[in-house]
Structure 1
Amino acid sequence: MTKYGTGPGARLAWRVWCGLALGVVAWGLAGCGSGDTGFGGSVDVDRLGVRDIAVDVTDTTATITWTTRRARASTVTYSTSNALDLSKTGKVTGGKPDTPSGVQHEVQLTGLKADTRYFFRVDGRKTTMRFKTMGGKRLRLAFVSSREDGRREVYLAYENGENVTRVTKTGGWSPALSNDGTRLAWVTWRAGGGTDVWTAQLDANGLVAGSEKALTDSAGRDEASPTFTTDGSAVTCAVQGGLVTVPLDGSAEVPLLTTRYAVNDPSWRRDGGSITFTSTQRSSVIQLSKRPVVDGSISIKVDDDLDTPLAAERWEVVDLNSGVIDMSAAGVGQKRVLVTYQSGTETIENERIAVPTPQACVHVMAPDGSGLRRLTSWENATSGPAYSADGGQIFFVREGDGRSLLYQMSGDGSNVRGLTTGSFVDRDPVVAPDGSVVMFASTRDADGLVNIWGLPSGGEAYPVTLYSTGESEPALSVVP
């Protein structure tokens, strides 16, 4: 039996777990790479009345483009408040009604105030969106989209989705930005199979041409979920069997966590004092009926036609006195096992026990790997933990009842409260450096499109992007 965390079989199992832990059964293994960004199920794009809204801004102008299914007015209403008391009619720039390409529209707004936020709607769409003119401090947004050629790639924009530019050309996902905004990391396919982390330099204008390079190139290992260390000198990523930190200068990588359990979604506190991530450890446990249990007496088989033995490295005895065994790394969730063991002088043979499905839970630990603690219950799968700007709070996703919603808790796991409600799928929370907004991917659009949304402190969620191909995995930082 191949030990979990090594070998081709373990790599495949780990890729599958990445998808399940992120709750992406409906949208492919987006946490680990796929060809589909949408996790809300299929949307018939040809039936959408209005789609693919994009905005490009300067200090005093905004060019807004979009596509409609049928011919209609090329009109935008807008203002610096939700009143939307100004209107501008533009032009049709191409396309045909009731065709896959649809009808393309364009409106140019001029005479705008610099460094000012505007609200707008396009004709035929009730969704109010926003943009901000140039001339002041901006945040940079990285995200994943297949808006150009149907392949998932990494894109850059400003914090309201303005001035979108494409970064990757051969597939990219899981973007991460350094705290100072000068570095971008992402995951892509490795030639010959598997995944690697790549990085690039950024400046005030975006991607520095020619700066893209592979940070990892490990033929026998896949990397996922990169996140920059606090000082931006290295990238921490999830690998089979734990977490590693890879310096940008090419020096030796540093093992941060070695474990038999599936680990994903690492995120550093901005001061570097701790790191949070998800792990399946202690999320699928069984308890033997007779106890205490004699040390070394336990053997386990899968309750199948072959009574397949489970190697000892695939399960862990938690406590002999209470007869608790952790099956989280065994790969037998929702199956039954047969356990033979000894309690006192009695030998119990083939005790049949149902194994719960492993669930990803939020964990936290110190930078040296000490003080590992589980913060969320195994009763609900969780994903995407992200620290608040001040490090005092952790935002995360909780699964349950067919929904996936955002939650917030204190850094020690207390004071848990929900942030979003409804029958939506919300994913990938990320916090602005100034703490002003949490951005996330969501299906809460009226048409079920998967796009980036923002949730300001004390406010209501608003759409940041609105594209029919689906957009997810936001990352936020400053513009250097």
Structure 2
Amino acid sequence: MLQKSFILVSFAFSLSALACTVGVAPAEQVSGGPMRVGALPLSALTPTAPPTVTFTQTAIAPTTPPQTDTPPPSTATVTVTPAASSTSAPTPVAGARQIAFHSGAVDGAKFIHVANVDGSQVISLTAGISPAWSPDGSQLVFVSDLGGNLDIFLMNADGSAVTNLTQTPTNDDSPAWTPDGQFIIFSSMRDGNAELYQMRADGTDVVRLTRTPLVAEIQPAVSANGEIVYAALSVGVTQLWMMQADGSEARLLEVGGGNHKFPAWSPDATKLAFASDRTGTFELYELTLATGEVRQLTETGVQNGSPQYSPDGRYLLFDSNRDSNYEVYRLNLETLGVTQLTRSNRPIFNGDPSWRP
């Protein structure tokens, strides 16, 4: 069962910090292949029933500027009546049919859910965290401790054909797809330190991309042109780094003071969204790579993280505890208007949202 130890291990690196030079080693071949688990029923994965997740559509006025979130245009036929406090009826973002996220008790099991981008038709798929859609939207890669430690799993979008891609006795985490859907970049402790690796989407041909014994590399994200951005943690500071697809040319991204984590690429690879605690709590920011300009997106005084761009680049999904619980929100990048998507009636962690392409 995905208990408290699962979440503490999975997010320990996020809460750590670092500041030292990241080196890059030549690619190293690692043995190992996928192990078939099968399409297990939810009851077989954990003895705890999945939590009930209620979706609401509540528009939240941004701090700056004072505008509400204009609903994204829709090409779908699904419509949902908003909650009474909402100023508009959200409709699906063009090209983004669904979102995925994990949900569960703060100190208990977590489950992968999918829902329409407007918040309707919530479906629980399996036990796990950190879901990420394949580029064609047909599969989800995710993290689970079904084998005792954290492994990376793959399943179809409907929850079928669950396959364990990693079988090391240590933890594997933070999976991210390459844009062609052929490879998955991930963080692993298999060599004694959190380093970044690449494997084929079937779990074969594992290649080590980084070799930095005193630095933990986590949370990789891959751009449309194949560049990798990631968080690097050591000696009290968390920083963002970027490297080429083969692990070469690693460089520090200058984004200001504080600790920085959860990097995410815009669809056109010109911007990065990330979370930073430069003001005391983790707020969301956006870096324009061509100019180095950093724009603050939220100003809440609470914790915000896990940003993910919509396929058209106009919106961010993210999680935040601004409503006491960690819930999933949508942010309009033009107006900075925020819409709350999930609302739980008991202590629940809803987070790590991902847009379906």
Normalised TM-score (structure 1): 0.56
Query: Which residue matches 2:15?
Result: 20
Query: Which residue matches 1:462?
Result: 339
Gaps of 5+ in 2: 1-7, 18-51, 58-69
SS in 2 for 1:167: strand
Query: Which residue matches 1:53?
Result: 54
SS in 2 for 1:231: coil
Report deviation, 1:195: 0.8
SS in 1 for 2:262: strand
Q: Partners in 2 of 1:117 and 1:247 — Cα distance?
A: 38
Q: Is the 8 A contact 1:157 1:164 kept in 2?
A: yes
Query: Which residue matches 2:116?
Result: 158
1:173 is the counterpart of 2:135: no
Q: Is the 8 A contact 1:187 1:195 kept in 2?
A: yes
Query: Which residue matches 2:249?
Result: 371
Q: Deviations over 1:56-81 (max 9, x none)?
A: xxxxxxxx9xxxxxxxxxxxxxxxx9
Query: Which residue matches 1:279?
Result: 232
Cα RMSD over matched residues?
3.1
Gaps of 5+ in 1: 1-12, 23-50, 56-63, 65-80, 83-112, 281-327, 329-356
Give the aligned residue type for 2:184. V
Select which of 139, 150, 161 maps to 2:97. 139
1:76-475 equivalences in 2 (<5 Å): 115=77, 117-118=79-80, 120-122=82-84, 126=85, 130-132=89-91, 138-146=96-104, 151-168=109-126, 171-191=127-147, 193-202=148-157, 206-207=158-159, 209=160, 211-219=161-169, 221-240=170-189, 241=193, 242-260=195-213, 261-272=215-226, 274-280=227-233, 328=234, 357-376=235-254, 379-411=257-289, 414-445=292-323, 448-459=324-335, 460-468=337-345, 469-475=348-354
Q: Partners in 2 of 1:179 and 1:52 — Cα distance?
A: 26
Report deviation, 1:119: 5.2
Q: Is the 8 A contact 1:278 1:361 kept in 2?
A: yes
Q: Deviations over 1:162-198 (max 9, x none)?
A: 2111111xx311111112111201111143x321000
Report deviation, 1:267: 0.2
Report deviation, 1:457: 2.7
Report deviation, 1:159: 1.3
Give the aligned residue type for 2:139. R
SS in 2 for 1:380: coil
Q: Partners in 1 of 2:53 and 2:86 — Cα distance?
A: 13
Report deviation, 1:18: 1.4
Q: Partners in 2 of 1:464 and 1:152 — Cα distance?
A: 18
Report deviation, 1:410: 2.0
Give the aligned residue type for 1:252. D
Q: Partners in 2 of 1:131 and 1:379 — Cα distance?
A: 36
Query: Which residue matches 1:28?
Result: none
Give the aligned residue type for 1:18. F
Q: Partners in 1 of 2:271 and 2:95 — Cα distance?
A: 25
Indicate how the Cα distance of structure 1 residues 114 and 201 shifts in structure 2: closer, same or farther if over 3 A, else same: closer
Q: Is the 8 A contact 1:222 1:239 kept in 2?
A: yes
**% identity of equivalent residues:** 24
Give the aligned residue type for 2:177. F
Say how many residue pairs are matched.
Answer: 293
Report deviation, 1:456: 1.7
SS in 1 for 2:15: helix
Q: Is the 8 A contact 2:282 2:305 kept in 1?
A: yes
Q: Deviations over 1:450-476 (max 9, x none)?
A: 211111231201112222323111011
Give the aligned residue type for 1:265. Q
Q: Is the 8 A contact 2:80 2:120 kept in 1?
A: no
Indicate how the Cα distance of structure 1 residues 222 and 133 shifts in structure 2: closer, same or farther if over 3 A, else same: closer
Q: Partners in 1 of 2:197 and 2:292 — Cα distance?
A: 28
Q: Deviations over 1:189-242 (max 9, x none)?
A: 143x3210000122xxx33x3x111010111x2111111111112211011331
Q: Partners in 1 of 2:149 and 2:83 — Cα distance?
A: 43
SS in 1 for 2:277: strand
Q: Deviations over 1:395-436 (max 9, x none)?
A: 000013431100011236811111111212111000111112
* Higher gyration radius (CA): 1
Q: Partners in 1 of 2:181 and 2:108 — Cα distance?
A: 32
